[in-house]
Amino acid sequence: MRPTTAGLCMTFDDKFVIPWHSCMDIFERYDVKATFFLCWPHMLRQREKRLLRKLSAAGHEIGCHTMSHARINKFMQTGTIEDYLAQEIDPAKAAIEDLLGKPCTSFSYPYFKHRDYMNGHLLERFDVVRTEGALNVGWQGSVVPPEGGRLVKTYCMTDKTGMALPISYYSVRFAHLAKTGGYGVTCGHSTGSYMPKNTRMICTKDDLEVICALAQAYGLTFHTVSELANPASAQQPKAKPVMRVV
């Protein structure tokens, strides 16, 4: 179901499966349906596979974040578009679908390194593609309009703990959404108590709860990224994907 009120799409990148699952109680408490963009699906351990299935069964979305977290700008120095799709996109999408037994319908570029010439190829494979990262200046332009969209930007970061983001960072953005309508796509990485090598990429359970509670206080609802897909756009022939950036 496409969302019809102002809300958030909380997304988390990479392969922090156990930390993500450790926050299930918070997601359930605030009725959050998150999107987890997975990379390195071929390296999943059995426990991680079980937990991903549990997350999916609980209504969360498992999206694609490439096969090896490759930087597209670096990859394309020696590879072609066809190479990128064959090595980084199609096998990762297939691995996720084989694991979950359902379509993988969303994608996010690693490192926020996106290329406009690749978007059409990705929109042939996914309903929604997350492109750019959160901007400190001009973040209002990253709001997905109420009618939805298929190319979406990141509205704000969820790595509150690691980035030492103040509560005002969120209150300003959540108030804007509540006033104007539309949807904000957040981006985070590890959650809970697991500290990644990059110590900026974490949100503890306490900080995650603060973010969720604040969003709820502003009347925002939570949605998966694929719910933002514009149904009219999705019905267009795949050879002519909608390229409008929202």
Ordered alpha helix ranges (H), the chain = 17-22, 24-29, 46-57, 72-75, 81-84, 90-100, 116-123, 160-163, 167-180, 205-217, 231-234
pLDDT for the residue numbered 138: 77
206: its two tokens: 């306490």
pLDDT of 160? 97
pLDDT at 217 (0 to 100) = 97
pLDDT of res. 135: 65
Q: Which pLDDT score, from 0 to 100, does residue 3 have?
A: 55
Q: How would DSSP label each residue in 112-175?
A: G---HHHHHHHHTT-SEEE-S---SSSGGGGPBPTT--SEE---EE--HHHHT--HHHHHHHHH
Residues 173-202 have pLDDT tens digits of 999 999 999 999 999 999 999 999 999 999
Residue range 11-49, pLDDT digits in tens: 999 999 999 999 999 999 999 999 999 999 999 999 999
- Tens of pLDDT along the chain (246 residues) come to 555 579 999 999 999 999 999 999 999 999 999 999 999 999 999 999 999 999 999 999 999 999 999 999 999 999 999 999 999 999 999 999 999 999 999 999 999 889 999 999 999 999 999 998 776 667 999 999 999 999 999 999 999 999 999 999 999 999 999 999 999 999 999 999 999 999 999 999 999 999 999 999 999 999 999 999 963 333 333 333 333 333
The two three-digit tokens of residue 55, written as one number: 């997350």
pLDDT for the residue numbered 1:
53
Q: Do you know the residue count of the chain?
A: 246
CATH level 3 topology of 7-234: TIM Barrel (3.20.20)
